[in-house]
A and B are shown apart, each in its own frame.
Chain A
């Protein structure tokens, strides 16, 4: 029995799928194998198309403007079924955070724990993402972040920059003319946080920001 049988499209380890974004660079994501590339043409197609162009594109009710969930098909505010995906400000704050220690062989590429964040965007949406680059800490709740992008198997996905300047300089899939300014310097919340400095895992794992 294959462990992959739950998947709608079975994982294909070590077979990067770049067909959906042939122009994107595929140097390899810092965190996960290309087998975890999301389905670019699936139900979140507007998000991935926007991300490839450097925009964070999320769903709203076209009638009343309410921020909707990624898979919502009717507005819970007014009942309308016309959903409009549009770019939002690439800024938010950490709503919840964890440092994942379990690293599934073949799917996770790093050798050190990695962060997963639930980010509350200034648009109101909450979006789960990892960081733009490796970092040994999970950031504190309330800390401002900017949103940049990673490329996984040719598909561009949002990622949080703990140092907003990193998001601004990230060239994976950005169109610089579309950038929005981060709301606050991240140092305001956690002055002792390490900066994400590159694609290598940070050398000193520590979990002082998120209690164990």
Chain B
């Protein structure tokens, strides 16, 4: 029943990351799956599990379990459309590992694809028109809360009031993340950035400027998780720890509504892995906005409370620093493919395939995925060493 080897990430496939309209999610997904299987030295005939992560919202072209049929896969023993918003990609890996350990599948492909960039409109316009007119979201939209930037701007406003942070901290995150992107050929923004350039960028919703926001792309990422020996040349990346946290912060006084409660996901994963925060070589976080990097560094206990801005301004998270964070440029400068962005970069780093951005000797990574308004946390401890 048990797999012959500890379940591990054995394949990684990325499409090109496009900043222009074109492509539909299903085709992008098929391309990424093929690349991931090739990377693992496998074919579709080796796959008996498929987990699918689509973008949120009900779009007619969003990815679903029909991918199995459309993508030419054979009979499967595991097929699910996983949905916990942005935390889904990380949760898919958790699901795949548990299924393989339980003997429910041997080799599971996990894929996310999205194509928010469309002809005739910017992604910002697409998001501004999304959300509907019912429920709390409908009331917010009638109040001018269009897209997700104003929402995260409110979060930033509140976070600054509580933590003491300021726009210089946001700037430091954007600059640090961009410095990493310079070494990543898959990053879509690879122009050097300094504080002057940051503060010259367009304000979207105070305190968030356009350079505080993720760069949406049309693209896809797939990973192959297997408990079998596979012929691909890359080292196996083991999942030594996993955790989730879904804090039910309430929209009422007292207590904070916008953040808090995610730390348990990381604590649980580290305990499972038998590791501590000091063992982490690289930190890959879901960073749709610069403020989220600051927030998660604190919330996950990676820096002392109230010190995230100071730590980032010190250069610790940037290339050459002792707390490397979002080493591929993250979602801010790399590409925004939701939870796949930090996940893919962690695999690249542990494989030693990071090229100009490689963190020397990286063997243990934390991957943090969030969903909703930082309502859902799913994390992994990835490691070159198996846990058994």
Which residues on A are within 8 Å of B, measured CB to CB? Answer: 1, 3-9, 11, 31-32, 36-39, 42-44, 47, 67-71, 76, 95-102, 104-105, 107-108, 113-114, 116, 118, 120, 124-130, 138, 141, 152, 155, 157, 159, 207, 210-212
**Contact assessment for A207 and B206 in the assembled complex, using a CB-CB cutoff below 8 Å:** yes
Shortest Cβ distance from A158 into chain B, in angstroms? 8
**Contact assessment for B131 and A7 in the assembled complex, using a CB-CB cutoff below 8 Å:** yes
Which residues of A have CB within 8 Å of B352? none
Which residues of A have CB within 8 Å of B124? 102, 104
Which residues of A have CB within 8 Å of B145? 116, 128
Which residues of B have CB within 8 Å of A141? 157-158, 161
**Contact assessment for B60 and A5 in the assembled complex, using a CB-CB cutoff below 8 Å:** yes
In the complex, what distance in Å separates the CA atom of A98 from the CA atom of B147? 14
Shortest Cβ distance from A111 into chain B, in angstroms? 14
Contact of A3 among B130, B132, B142 (CB under 8 A): B130
**Contact assessment for B130 and A37 in the assembled complex, using a CB-CB cutoff below 8 Å:** no
Q: A9-B132, A129-B143 are in contact. List 14 more A-B contacts (CB 8 A).
A: A6-B132, A8-B132, A32-B144, A36-B133, A37-B142, A69-B250, A70-B136, A76-B250, A96-B154, A98-B154, A108-B144, A125-B251, A125-B252, A159-B143
Shortest Cβ distance from B200 into chain A, in angstroms? 12
Closest 4 CB pairs of A and B: A6-B130, A98-B153, A8-B132, A6-B57
In the complex, what distance in Å separates the CA atom of A5 from the CA atom of B62? 11
**Contact assessment for A100 and B150 in the assembled complex, using a CB-CB cutoff below 8 Å:** yes
Which residues of A have CB within 8 Å of B253? 120, 124, 126
Which residues of B have CB within 8 Å of A68? 252
Which residues of A have CB within 8 Å of B278? none
**Contact assessment for B133 and A8 in the assembled complex, using a CB-CB cutoff below 8 Å:** yes
Shortest Cβ distance from A115 into chain B, in angstroms? 8
Which residues of A have CB within 8 Å of B204? 100-102
Which residues of B have CB within 8 Å of A6? 57-59, 129-132
Which residues of B have CB within 8 Å of A118? 154, 158, 257-258
Q: Does B77 contact A (CB under 8 A)?
A: no
In the complex, what distance in Å separates the CA atom of A7 from the CA atom of B135? 12
**Contact assessment for A31 and B126 in the assembled complex, using a CB-CB cutoff below 8 Å:** no
In the complex, what distance in Å separates the CA atom of A32 from the CA atom of B142? 7
Which residues of A have CB within 8 Å of B153? 98, 100, 116
Contact of B144 among A100, A120, A210 (CB under 8 A): A100
In the complex, what distance in Å separates the CA atom of A181 from the CA atom of B131? 34
Shortest Cβ distance from B98 into chain A, in angstroms? 29
In the complex, what distance in Å separates the CA atom of A110 from the CA atom of B207? 20
In the complex, what distance in Å separates the CA atom of A211 from the CA atom of B171? 13
Shortest Cβ distance from B163 into chain A, in angstroms? 13
**Contact assessment for A101 and B251 in the assembled complex, using a CB-CB cutoff below 8 Å:** no
In the complex, 19 of the A-B residue pairs with CB atoms within 8 angstroms, ordered by the A residue number, are: A3-B125, A6-B59, A7-B132, A8-B134, A38-B134, A70-B135, A95-B158, A96-B154, A97-B154, A99-B205, A100-B205, A118-B154, A120-B253, A124-B253, A125-B252, A126-B253, A128-B145, A211-B206, A212-B206
**Contact assessment for B202 and A101 in the assembled complex, using a CB-CB cutoff below 8 Å:** yes
Which residues of A have CB within 8 Å of B130? 3-4, 6-7
Which residues of A have CB within 8 Å of B155? 96
Which residues of B have CB within 8 Å of A69? 136, 250-252
Which residues of A have CB within 8 Å of B135? 42-44, 70-71
Shortest Cβ distance from A192 into chain B, in angstroms? 18
**Contact assessment for A38 and B141 in the assembled complex, using a CB-CB cutoff below 8 Å:** yes
Q: Does B108 contact A (CB under 8 A)?
A: no
Q: A3-B125, A6-B132, A69-B251 are in contact. Are A104 and B146 (CB under 8 A)?
A: yes
In the complex, what distance in Å separates the CA atom of A204 from the CA atom of B208? 21
Which residues of A have CB within 8 Å of B233? none
Q: Please, which residue of chain B has its CB at the minimum distance from the CB of A155?
A: B142
Which residues of A have CB within 8 Å of B311? none
**Contact assessment for A11 and B252 in the assembled complex, using a CB-CB cutoff below 8 Å:** no
In the complex, what distance in Å separates the CA atom of A207 from the CA atom of B194? 23
Q: Please, which residue of chain A has its CB at the minimum distance from the CB of B202?
A: A101
Which residues of A have CB within 8 Å of B131? 6-7
